[in-house]
Structure 1
């Protein structure tokens, strides 16, 4: 592994650690996401890796070399900040050149590299403009060019898309991934947006309260979450509380029974979680498609929400509100508020966790 974070911890005085016993590694050319809610320690971790914040304990290794005690300028890492941090009095070219000038490159080399970096991010011909003359997306490209221009060993991106509108965010997300793959740049991407992380990262580290909850590919994180926090944070989820029965089924509120692919201990409380888009919906009294190994709950639609490509149904069932998501069609909404329906989903799509293990 090219970059290794080993038992990293950061404490501020007597307070609980901002980052605690954090360990992960990534291969050369890999894009790793640090994902989690605000305040979970993502940016602190990134700043410790870059050298901007000193670690209280633990080690950071790059290519087998311990860089934990090295200053930022000796780590050869490019950093792109959430705010872009462009110098307003400098031109675009001067902003991109700044790091090269600090490293004492020749004027000829600087001009050559700046031109190449701006071309890489599709900003040819704007080198003489000031940041205020650029759009938000263009300013972001300038910040990316500045992080890449000195050919860093590792690229660190701290919430780089949070200041952009939704459409531009999607475009820039894809552009960052394309550049990263073309350069085979080892990259850490900090975000609280699970869609961003799932879309472009090779693997994802999910953090919560300064600790690692799970690390895996986007598919592993989404389909086999290790904890309720991961299941809840990565994608929308429904929650039901129940109790394991002796026959391996789950009793929900003493009125309905469902099954999961992996039964638990008899009498133990269980937290059941199901993705909204994995739940089928048919009119009450209708046959259930592929009824074998399907869980079925009777319910009543209480609210219908149209959001363009998706219809969201809020269904009252088993003493709870369950969200169901379906793709829209040109024929319109097949169910109205108040309709009696049957919810059904596969045992394989039934995630279960010990109820006392929830964080």
Structure 2
């Protein structure tokens, strides 16, 4: 592995640690996402990797070398901040060149590398402008060029897209991924947006309250969440309390639900993704099977959000959210309609009651 983080911890005084016993690694050329809610410690982790924040304990290794106590300028890492941190009094070329000047690179080489970096982010014609003369998306590209121009061993991106509107954010995340793959740049990407992490990261570290919840590919994180926190944070989900029965079914309210998980004992938390539930008009009474769960219910309300219809359905198991893609300008259902809900047993996620914090 190229970057190794071992038992990393950061404490401020006598407060609870901002980051505690955090370990992960990534290979050369890999893009790893640090994902989690605000305050979970992901930016602090990024700053410890860069050297901007000193770790209280633990180790950071790059290519097998321990860099934990090295100053930032000796780590050869490119950092792109959430605010972009461009110098307003400098031209774009001067902003991009700043890191090279700090590294005492020859002037003739600086000019070539600045031109190449701006070309890489498609900003060839703005070298003499000031940051205030550029759009938010262009400023974001300048910040990326400044991070790349030093030819870093590792690129660190701290919420780089949070200041952009939704459409531009989608475009820019694709551009970042394309540049990262083309350069085979080892990259750590901090975000609280699960869609961003799922879209561009090779693997994702999910953090919560300074600790590691799960690490895996986007598919692992979404389809096989290790904890309820991961299941709820990465995508939308229904959450219901149940009780294991001796026959392996789960009693949820006045309904029985089955899962692929082996039967246990006592209380259990079950979760179902809204888009994995099929919705049909109520017909003849249906019963569940080893392959599918069936419950009946009544639509309480409907939200139209463009490409998706969101239904809230009252059932004997509890209130369930169901999401379906819109297929026409009219909705076949109305509030008050009786409906049948079906979902596969494999889509019923189960967690022990001890994991439901």
Shared fold per TM-score greater than 0.5: yes
Matched, 1:150 2:156: no
Aligned residue for 1:258?
A: 257
Aligned residue for 2:238?
A: 238
- Tell me the secondary structure at the aligned position of residue 73 of structure 1: helix
Cα deviation, residue 292, structure 1: 5.8
| Alignment counterpart, residue 309 of structure 2, candidates 292, 308, 311 | 311
Please show how residues 209-228 of structure 1 align to structure 2 within 5 Å.
209-228=209-228
Aligned residue for 2:273?
A: 275
| Alignment counterpart, residue 347 of structure 1, candidates 342, 345, 348 | 345
Could you list the per-position Cα deviations for residues 194-243 of structure 1 after superposition, in whole angstroms to 9, with x for gaps in the alignment? 00000000000000000000000000000000000000000000011110
In structure 1, how many angstroms separate the alpha carbons of the residues matched to 2:98 and 2:237? 46
Could you tell me the TM-score, scaled by structure 2's length? 0.98
In structure 1, how many angstroms separate the alpha carbons of the residues matched to 2:184 and 2:286? 48
Could you list the per-position Cα deviations for residues 97-132 of structure 1 after superposition, in whole angstroms to 9, with x for gaps in the alignment? 000001111111000000000000000110000000
| Alignment counterpart, residue 321 of structure 1, candidates 312, 319, 322 | 319
Aligned residue for 1:35?
A: 35
Change (3 A) 1:138 1:290: farther
Aligned residue for 2:15?
A: 15
Preserved contact between residue 255 and residue 317 of structure 2 (Cα < 8 Å): no
Change (3 A) 1:241 1:50: same
Cα deviation, residue 321, structure 1: 1.7
Aligned residue for 1:335?
A: 333
Aligned residue for 1:125?
A: 125
Preserved contact between residue 244 and residue 263 of structure 1 (Cα < 8 Å): no
Aligned residue for 1:78?
A: 78
- Aligned pair count? 357
Aligned residue for 1:49?
A: 49
In structure 1, how many angstroms separate the alpha carbons of the residues matched to 2:261 and 2:227? 15
In structure 2, how many angstroms separate the alpha carbons of the residues matched to 1:194 and 1:264? 31
Preserved contact between residue 249 and residue 263 of structure 1 (Cα < 8 Å): no
Preserved contact between residue 249 and residue 258 of structure 2 (Cα < 8 Å): yes
Gaps of 5+ in 1: none
In structure 2, how many angstroms separate the alpha carbons of the residues matched to 1:234 and 1:319? 23
- Tell me the secondary structure at the aligned position of residue 4 of structure 1: strand
Preserved contact between residue 313 and residue 323 of structure 1 (Cα < 8 Å): yes
Preserved contact between residue 157 and residue 189 of structure 1 (Cα < 8 Å): yes
Gaps of 5+ in 2: none
In structure 2, how many angstroms separate the alpha carbons of the residues matched to 1:319 and 1:252? 5
In structure 2, how many angstroms separate the alpha carbons of the residues matched to 1:241 and 1:340? 23
Cα deviation, residue 358, structure 1: 1.6
Could you list the per-position Cα deviations for residues 9-35 of structure 1 after superposition, in whole angstroms to 9, with x for gaps in the alignment? 000011100000000000000000000
Cα deviation, residue 265, structure 1: 1.8
Preserved contact between residue 303 and residue 311 of structure 2 (Cα < 8 Å): yes
Change (3 A) 1:180 1:281: same
Q: Which moved more, 1:288-297 or 1:172-181?
A: 288-297
- Tell me the secondary structure at the aligned position of residue 226 of structure 2: coil
Cα deviation, residue 318, structure 1: 2.4
Aligned residue for 1:183?
A: 183
Q: Which moved more, 1:349-358 or 1:142-151?
A: 349-358
Please show how residues 73-112 of structure 1 align to structure 2 within 5 Å.
73-112=73-112
In structure 1, how many angstroms separate the alpha carbons of the residues matched to 2:78 and 2:224? 33
Cα deviation, residue 293, structure 1: 1.0
Cα deviation, residue 263, structure 1: 2.5
In structure 1, how many angstroms separate the alpha carbons of the residues matched to 2:263 and 2:45? 36
Could you list the per-position Cα deviations for residues 293-348 of structure 1 after superposition, in whole angstroms to 9, with x for gaps in the alignment? 11011111001111110000011112522110000012521111000111110000
Could you list the per-position Cα deviations for residues 138-182 of structure 1 after superposition, in whole angstroms to 9, with x for gaps in the alignment? 000000000000100000000000000000000000000000000
Could you tell me the TM-score, scaled by structure 1's length? 0.98
Preserved contact between residue 77 and residue 155 of structure 1 (Cα < 8 Å): yes
